[in-house]
Amino acid sequence: MPRTLHLNAFLLGVGHHEAAWRHPRTDPGRVTDLRHFQELARTAERGTLDSVFLADSLAVGPAVRHNIQAVFEPLTLLAALATVTTHVGLIATVSTSYNEPFTTARTFASLDHLSGGRAGWNIVTSAQAREAWNFNLDDHPAHADRYRRAAEFVEVAVKLWDSWEDDALVLDPATGIFADTDRVHEIGHAGERFRVRGPLNTPRPPQGRPLLVQAGSSPDGVTFAGRYAEAVFTAQQTLVDGQRFYATVKQAAVAAGRDPELVKVLPGIAPVLGGTEAEARALADELEELIVPEHALAQLSGMIGVDLTGLPLDGPLPELPDAATVQSHQSRYQLVVDLARRERLTVRQLIGRLGGGRGHRVVAGTPEQVADQIERWFTEGAADGFNVMPPLLPSGLEDFVDHVVPLLRARGLFRHEYTGRTLREHYGLPRPGSRYAGDRELVTA
Amino acid sequence: MPRTLHLNAFLLGVGHHEAAWRHPRTDPGRVTDLRHFQELARTAERGTLDSVFLADSLAVGPAVRHNIQAVFEPLTLLAALATVTTHVGLIATVSTSYNEPFTTARTFASLDHLSGGRAGWNIVTSAQAREAWNFNLDDHPAHADRYRRAAEFVEVAVKLWDSWEDDALVLDPATGIFADTDRVHEIGHAGERFRVRGPLNTPRPPQGRPLLVQAGSSPDGVTFAGRYAEAVFTAQQTLVDGQRFYATVKQAAVAAGRDPELVKVLPGIAPVLGGTEAEARALADELEELIVPEHALAQLSGMIGVDLTGLPLDGPLPELPDAATVQSHQSRYQLVVDLARRERLTVRQLIGRLGGGRGHRVVAGTPEQVADQIERWFTEGAADGFNVMPPLLPSGLEDFVDHVVPLLRARGLFRHEYTGRTLREHYGLPRPGSRYAGDRELVTA
């Protein structure tokens, strides 16, 4: 079978551009309206996209004054989207730093059951001090500590999903056997950070395990992805950077003893679409003019973990410390510094460039031009697909589905219809067996 | 306005009787089928019930061999039920012992937004050692400790729901003001167990706060209910016990400085319905015969926290320690001991009596007889309404809605149609204002 693209619709409020909600083509009141998200999920499904994808953050700060915020908690929102769709995958971001593995494993299992096997977990470690403040801490744990916790957290979650073998639910009224307890296993996990006895309190989910997605691109993040991730969401500004990152992730998978084909690399792309290049450019300019600069600078400060507020907008970015010393989002920090230096951007230009996708690549052009970019990254070793981040919602997703997807299909790069029902099937990934299958150890009291 | 009943449909698998899934009128495969629960929620709404109610437990043990278990996590399930209903309330049980207040407050706020103001939280403290084992502990915390944590947990959650004033979301594209940060407040909570800065990362939910329900009937539980609960779910076997408990809860509310009318007392009732009393009795007998006694004894042991397995089935219950020394479900323990003594039940008879509702009152009879019992408890000071626990699902809920509800309506005891849209409106409870309203303190960095 020829290699084909994987495309997620990354849903965020009324659009990914930070000023989207001020643009006349959006209705900002819809951020609290479930039907808005249900319509977006149906549009994604009409375009046979692999999934809808939701980001998350566990705090709100002064930036809320000027910027739209997510209203819904991702898993409850996806459960509500599951009921109005039949095929599209449902990926939620959940932090390993401020949750318990039993709860997270269980909730994703529930979403997978509810949706008939469409759940995916985007694993993040939460990098803001502001988030730590909501969970009894004075600051977020150090970068390496967060990743050590994340690794153990995922190990526990996988054991819990495996704790019910696939055939454990017997449901035989005649004998009164509900579940075969020879096929329901305690996991007995006792590690550095977690002690979890198990089993999980739900039968094995339809996909065996939800799809595991990861979104940190630092060295710790890539090592983690190599071991655990089945899809990696990343921000890459140039083809060369994208190719380098792609190769690094695939190597990390090989180093962890895995088949690199089973780890999909999906950069973000924010397509600003127009019937002509000039129209697309005009839309990008309109959005840039709607940015509130002081707000954007506060956002950028939060994103890279360095206070830049008060900087002169028409001067350059100051010298900044080495990324390896940064305890927040290391890879995003490096990307911003590189972008500003490479293109010799003023602070004002930099926030304009970042406004469209918070560091993700913005491509303004016709559907053909956007399809060309997608094809090029896909065929030249920089991507297995993309997280599509429309600047305006719903219009930007509708434009992508109606005008870009048909081109990708015509080029033989993307499915014409769904051939599977589960998210794993859309990604061409196998359904994992339970590690306990065949291991007939009784659940003990 | 005359006082009227409040009725919740307590949904559990294919019925509340522990052998429900073995009865020919159920299809046990539906425990993993979302549509089963969607149909139940629609049936509840057809009966203009106040809400659907979901219990929860954070562990599974050997009892799963013979007994149906919940598959879905309550909040994701309710989010999926919200999309196929428009009025019926959605109450989920969530433990304060193994969650964080920020996460719980946020998820209920999300459900309230998704459902247009229909969310309720049944607050429990989790009493099984088996649950503690899934959360890094060797045993559950002591009874009083759990309630101290619960009290602080709820205080934090309420502050978080209040942290956005009702009019904080401005959404003014012209000025670029998304939210009025003068109306979004840090809560700065620093207590014995939690430090939470806030604000919550979602605007104030439609109900202001979700409905607060509580389900512990021990002295600690009643004190807690008096302070925080707006509805109390309880197991009471006799009218006299029900009257005593009802009065105790109302007094606890008064003692906490609250209006006792604003705390609704809702005993569980498991109606075993038949066209004649003999038919109802026959159904109850059929179900009792399907009980697996060894399993029922293991269940009972778990419920009261005392190992009774291996006891002779046709002998009496042995002498048991005083309830106040019990660290698990104190009130349920007392109920079981009282029931066995009052009626001089053998162990076999006791498990038969408990099989229908795990300690909740079972009423087998015609719709008139069930309606009579409901009316009597309601008018004689034992109940403001009931948590209805059909022995078989869906048939038992359909029978209740089609045959008991019309009688209650005809007697002027229950609504003919919904007069409000939110769960608070169904319960006749006011929408609370934000404690921070008028307090114009800026969110600080």
> For residue A394, is the peptide bond before it cis, meaning its omega torsion is within 30 degrees of 0?
yes
Is the Cβ of B27 closer than 8 Å to some Cβ of chain A? no
Of B32, B134, B171, the CB nearest to A28: B171
Q: Give the pLDDT of residue B378.
A: 98
Q: DSSP 3-state assignment of B441?
A: coil
Contact status of A161 with chain B (Cβ, < 8 Å): no
Task: Write the residue in B28, B61, B176 that is nearest to A173 by C-beta.
Answer: B28
pLDDT at B238 over 80: yes
Q: Identify the pLDDT of residue B104.
A: 98
A25-39, A297-311, A417-431, B238-252, range with the lowest pLDDT:
A297-311
pLDDT at A294 over 90: no
Distance linking the first and last C-alpha atoms of chain B: 49
B432: cis peptide before it, omega within 30°? no
Question: For B41-55, what is each residue's pLDDT tens digit?
Answer: 999 999 999 999 999
User: What is the C-alpha to C-alpha distance for residues B251 and B222, in angstroms, rounded to an integer?
Assistant: 10
Could you tell me if A131 and A138 are in contact, meaning their C-beta atoms sit under 8 angstroms apart?
Answer: no
CB-based contact A425:A419 (threshold 8 Å): yes
From A139's Cα to the closest Cα of chain B, the distance in A is 12
Is the Cβ of A418 closer than 8 Å to some Cβ of chain B?
no
- Residue for token pair 């009972």: B300
What residue type is assigned to position A401 of the chain? V
The pLDDT, as a whole number, for residue A304 is: 82
Token couple for B341: 């003594």
Can you name the CATH fold of B6-280+360-426?
TIM Barrel (3.20.20)
Q: Chain A contact for B203, CB < 8 A?
A: yes
What residues in B contact A34, CB-CB < 8 Å? 82-83, 113-114
Chain A, 41 to 70: residues with Cβ < 8 Å from chain B are 57-62, 64-70
Of A109-123, A165-179, B112-126, the one with minimum mean pLDDT is A165-179
A338-376 pLDDT, tens digit per residue, is 888 888 999 998 988 888 888 899 999 999 999 999 999
Record: contact B32-A445, CB cut-off 8 A: no
Residue B86 contacts A, CB cutoff 8 Å: no
Distance from CA of A55 to the nearest CA of B (A): 13
Q: Comparing B77 with B69, which gets the higher pLDDT?
A: B77
Lowest mean pLDDT among A104-113, A383-392, A419-428, B288-297: B288-297
Contact status, residue B140 vs residue B126, Cβ threshold 8 Å = yes
Name, in order, each residue with C-beta under 8 angstroms of A148's C-beta and a sequence gap of 6 or more: A192, A193
- Judged against a pLDDT cut of 90, whether residue B24 lies above it is answered with yes
Quote the minimal CA–CA distance from B10 to chain A in Å: 19
Model confidence pLDDT, tens digit, residues A180-236? 999 999 999 999 999 999 999 999 999 999 999 998 788 889 999 999 999 999 999
Task: Tell me, rounded to whole angstroms, the distance of Cα B7 from its chain centroid.
Answer: 12
- Interchain contact, A134 vs B57, CB within 8 Å: no
The answer to whether B427 is annotated as binding is: no
| Closest to B163 measured CA to CA, from B444, B441, B434 | B434
Cβ-based contacts of B59 with chain A (< 8 Å): 201
Q: Which residues of B145-184 are buried (b: 16+ CB within 10 A; e: fewer)?
A: ebbbbbbbbbbbbbbbbbbbbeebbebebeebbbbbbebb
The reply to whether B185 sits in an annotated binding site is no
In the predicted structure, residue B310 carries a pLDDT above the cut 90: no
Cβ distance B195 to A73 less than 8 Å, yes or no, reads no
Mean of pLDDT values over B233-256: 96
ipTM of the prediction greater than 0.90, yes or no: yes
Is the CATH code 3.40.50.720 the one for domain A6-278+359-426? no
Range with lowest mean pLDDT among A137-146, A255-264, B141-150, B325-334: B325-334
Q: Is A121 helix (H, G, I), strand (E, B) or coil?
A: strand
Q: How far is B73 from chain A (nearest CA, A)?
A: 6
Asked if the model's pLDDT at residue A325 lies above 80, the reply is no
C-alpha pair distances (Å), B94 with each of A59, B99, B124, B439: 21, 8, 6, 31
Select the more confidently predicted residue: B414 or A67: B414
Which amino acid does the sequence have at A143?
H
Cβ of residue A129 closer than 8 Å to a chain B Cβ: no
pLDDT in tens, B382-391: 999 999 999 9
What letter does residue B327 receive in the DSSP assignment?
S
Per-residue pLDDT for B445 more than 60?
Answer: no
DSSP state of A92: E
A25 at B interface, C-beta within 8 A: no
Q: What is the pLDDT of residues B314-355, one digit of tens each?
A: 998 888 888 777 766 778 888 888 888 888 999 998 988 888
Contacts for B49 with CB less than 8 Å, ≥ 6 apart: B7, B8, B9, B88, B388, B401, B405
Contact B38 A102 (CB under 8 A): no
Where residue B70 falls among pLDDT bands split at 50, 70, 90? Answer: confident
- Sequence-distant (6+) residues with CB within 8 A of B362 are B270, B272, B284, B353, B356, B391
Are B80 and A80 an interchain contact pair (Cβ–Cβ within 8 Å)?
Answer: yes
**In this complex, do A169 and B32 lie within 8 Å of one another by their Cβ atoms?**
yes
What the block records as the tokens of B417 is 């149609």
Q: Do A65 and B181 touch (CB under 8 A)?
A: yes
Distance, in Å, from the CA atom of B364 to the CA atom of B348, rounded to the nearest integer, reads 19
- C-alpha A230, offset from chain centre: 12
Element (H, E) at A234: strand A231-234
Does residue A114 surpass a pLDDT of 90?
A: yes
List of chain A residues whose C-beta atoms are within 8 Å of the C-beta of residue B443: 61-62, 64
Whether residue B361 contacts residue B269, with contact meaning beta carbons closer than 8 Å, is answered with yes
Q: What are phi and psi of A171, to 5 degrees?
A: 55, 50
What mean pLDDT comes out for the span A418-445?
82
Annotated binding residue A218: yes
Provide the percentage of residues in chain B whose pLDDT is more than 70.
Answer: 98
pLDDT (mean) for A293-315 = 86
A143-157, B147-161, B303-317: which has the minimum mean pLDDT? B303-317
- Please indicate if any CB of chain B lies within 8 Å of the CB of A196: yes
Q: Which residue in the set A23, A29, A59 is minimally distant from B201, CB to CB?
A: A59
The pTM for the full model equals 0.95
Q: What is the model's pLDDT at position B94?
A: 97
Q: What is the mean pLDDT of residues B94-115?
A: 98
The tokens of B203 are what?
């605007």
Calpha distance B390→B269 (Å, rounded): 8
Q: Identify which of B272, B290, B288, B299 has the alpha carbon closest to the alpha carbon of residue B370.
A: B272
Residue B436 has pLDDT above 60, yes or no: yes
pLDDT tens, B165-209? 999 999 999 999 999 999 999 999 999 999 999 999 999 999 999
| Phi, psi at B313, each rounded to 5° | -70, -30
A215 reaches B (C-beta below 8 A) = no
Best to test chain B binding among A34, A42, A178 (most B CBs inside 10 Å)? A178
Confidence of residue A441 (pLDDT cuts 50, 70, 90): very low
CB hemisphere CA count around A439 (13 angstroms): 14
Residue A93 in marked binding region: yes
Residue B86 — φ and ψ, nearest 5°? -130, -20
Residue ranges covered by each domain of chain A: 6-278+359-426
Give yes or no for A380 touching B (CB within 8 A): no
Contact at CB, B73 and A176, closer than 8 angstroms: no
Beta carbons of A121 and A78 less than 8 angstroms apart: no
pLDDT recorded at residue A301: 85
Q: Which residues in B lie closer than 8 A to residue A198 (C-beta atoms)? A: 134
Residue A375 to chain B, least CA–CA distance (Å): 36
Are B246 and B382 in contact, with CB atoms under 8 Å apart? yes
Q: Does B306 touch chain A (CB under 8 A)?
A: no
